Structures are given as structure tokens and as C-alpha cells.
Amino acid sequence: MTTPVAPVPLSGPRLQEDPARVYREMRREHGTVVPVVLDGDIPAWLVLGYRELHQITGDPGLFSRDSDLWNQWENIPDDWPLLPMIGRRQNSILYTVGERHRERATMLSNALEAVDPFELRSYAEKFADELIDGISPKGSADLIAEYAMLLPVRVLARLYGFADDEGPALVTALNDMIDGRDRAIAGQSHLFTSMTDLVAARREDPADDVVSRMLADPSSFTDEEIVQDLMVMMAAGHQPTADWIGNSLRLMLTDERFAASLFGGRNSVAEAMNEVLWEDTPTQNVAGRWASRDTRLGGRRIRAGDMLLLGLQGANSDPQVRTDGSALTGGNGAHFSFGHGEHRCPFPAQEIAEVIARTGIEVVLDRLPDIDLAVPATALARRPSPWLRGLTELPVTFTPTPALGGLA
């Protein structure tokens, strides 16, 4: 008889400071499917195996996105801080299944695919230059708070149809919601109200934006469904993209392999961005999938209604597929950073995120060519979240330069 093992808390400073080591220890002690506990001692399974994750995301019948299946709802209080991340009977694309999910995914993809790539690039450059204008004369800055955390949401807000001055409040709400702490519910409420107001405005006065295209979709989705899907898109599009920028800049400023990029090179920007998706992905873990019946996975007995968390970073570093260290990085895109299966991040959304992130990094390198870290690399700290991995700050110094003018 196998001796029961104690579940691992999915929290704590070690997971924040060195997740790769924690995932290795979990894999060594528990295998590819790890029993974990969330806030409030709520049990779940963290799937770290590349093949197991591929199996889960490729079988939506057995491993459903329908959170109503969860066998722990009776133990979840209304103020549970992870509730916005889990989704309680939310009418959003994240938790729909079957044909209705496919219709909604098509609607979202069509609305995003219609974004003009030249306009997207110009918005990203414009807002990036505005933000750099605000810091370039000072000679020092925190590229997280003053840049990376502001750029994606400003671009996305413009694409969706928000006024530019609504961006800062959306940033705060999104961060509160995603971090899963005491202000998570308030952040979710602000985001919901903002999206509801925008949908109502575009219902009365359509424009050339993502929201108007969603409202015009022939599948006739309700305003509530569109609001929920906008919240998903904004959350999934902003914070991971901001962390993609921050994590890539950190890599380029601390790894000598990318030093040439700081002096005008561009090939290494794409290489650094792809390496981050393999080794330091912004979206570390995702909640979740729910077993529709009793089954087995990775040698574990999974009960009907159990929640499985997708360990994207753990799967990316699975030694069963990473037999030669970083051999699968370079131009290889077989990582799980955008998910897999019918609930993966839509391809047009991936392309938008990549344009925003790459443009943001290139503008930094163009405008601040002698940029350098203001602190030792070992002093850089990460946010305390098991879900998203990003820096709390990225302090840098550079030669002060005048603002470009006319953009701010």
C-alpha cells in the first residue's frame, strides 16, 4: 500500500524566489501530478508533466473547463481571494464547453484578427514613446511600474474602445484581481463595471473597435457574455504581456548572451522573448480543469470533480522533453505558455501580445541605449503569486535624454 503524502502548499517565498527548483523538488517527491493545497486548505492537483498536460488540454470531455463540476464549492467562502481566478459559475468563454465554446472562440478570434497590424504597431510605438518621454530626462526609472505595467493595457484599451485616461484604473483593478489577495474581489468589480459601461456605450454608438465587432457578431451573444469575455481578454492580455516585457528585459540586462541587443541588435530580442516563454514564462500556473468522472493521471487517482491546475512552467521544464538543457528553446514554440487545445490563447491574441511586447522592448533599447541595472541582479524580486511570474520592480539607470516632444 502506498503511503499517503502530505500535499504541498501552493504559496510561500520559495515558490516566488526559485520556482524552477520548487517544481524539480515537487516532481522528484510526488511525480508529474502533485497534490497541493490552496488558500484555506483547499485541495487540488498541480500537473507538471508535459505529456500529462497535453493529455488534459486535449481531452475537454474528461478534463472539463466547467467549474460547476468542482467538488469543493461547499467549502469555498464568498470572499475567497482566489475566486476571481477560479471562476464560480461565470458566464465567460473560460468556463463554456462544447459547441457554445467554439462559437465564442470564433467570435473572439474574428474580432481580434480584424485589428489592423499597422495600427497596432503604431499604437504600441506611440504609447511606448509617451511612457519613455516621461522617464528619459530623469536618468533612472523603474521599468516595471513606470513602463511595462502601463503599456499593454493602454494599447489594449485603445483596441477595445476605452478612452486613454481610463487605463491607469484598469491597471490597478487587473493587478488586484490577478494577484489573488485581499483586493481581488474589488478589482474584479471595477473591471466588470468598466466593461459593462463600455459595452452599453458601443451598443448605442458602434465604432471601429474590438467591442463593436463582438457586438455585431451574427451569433448574437448577450451583453453579459461579451462583458465576461472582455474581462477575460483584458486580464489575459495585459498582465502576462507586461511580465513578458519585464522578464525579457531582465534577461537581456543580466545575461551576457544578449548584451549586443542593448546596442541596437534585434535578432536577440526575439530570442530572449522566446527563451522567457520556455524558462521564465509569465503565466506559471492556470486554474483549471475539473475531472468529469473518476480517472487516473500520472499514476494518481483523480476523483470526479477534482480540480487540476495546469503547471505550464513545470511542463515547459519537464526533463522528459528537455533532455538537453535548453535544446528546445531558440526558435522552438512547443512550450505551453499560451496553453494548448480548444481553450488555448487564440492565435490573434498571441500575435497582438507579441507585437506589444516586442515593440515595448525595442523602444526601450532605441530610446535608452546605454541602459543598465541600478541594483545587483540578485536584488531583483518577484511578485508573490503562484499564478503569474513577474518582477516587483526593474530599476535601471541611463544617460538622461530629452523627451521626443509632441507625444505626451
pTM: 0.88
Question: Of 32, 43, 39, which Cα lies nearest the Cα of 7?
Answer: 43
**Distance separating alpha carbons of residues 220 and 223, to the nearest angstrom:** 9
* Per-residue model confidence as pLDDT tens for the chain (408 residues): 445 578 888 887 887 778 888 899 999 999 999 999 998 899 999 999 999 999 998 898 999 988 889 999 999 998 887 887 776 655 677 677 777 778 888 888 999 999 999 999 999 999 999 999 999 999 999 999 999 999 998 899 999 999 888 887 888 887 777 666 677 788 888 989 999 999 999 999 999 999 999 999 888 788 988 998 898 888 888 889 999 999 999 999 998 887 655 555 555 888 899 999 988 999 888 888 999 999 999 999 999 999 999 999 988 888 887 665 554 455 566 777 776 767 667 788 889 999 999 999 999 999 998 999 999 999 999 987 888 899 999 999 999 998 886 443
User: Would you state the pLDDT for residue 406?
Assistant: 41
Beta bridge partners of 362: none
Scanning the structure block, which residue is given the C-alpha cell 475531472? 291
Scanning the structure block, which residue is given the C-alpha cell 512550450? 335
Question: Of 276, 270, 257, which Cα lies nearest the Cα of 317?
Answer: 276
Q: What is the DSSP letter of 283?
A: B
**Distance separating alpha carbons of residues 111 and 196, to the nearest angstrom:** 18
Question: Of 7, 51, 31, 3, which Cα lies nearest the Cα of 306?
Answer: 7
**Domain locations in the chain?**
1-96+284-331, 97-280+337-408
Beta bridge partners of 63: 291
Fold that domain 1-96+284-331 belongs to in CATH: 3.30.43
Question: Of 346, 358, 140, 344, which Cα lies nearest the Cα of 244?
Answer: 358
Query: Is CATH 1.10.10.410 correct for 97-280+337-408?
Result: no
Q: Sign of dihedral through CA atoms 23, 15, 140, 246?
A: positive
**Distance separating alpha carbons of residues 64 and 77, to the nearest angstrom:** 23
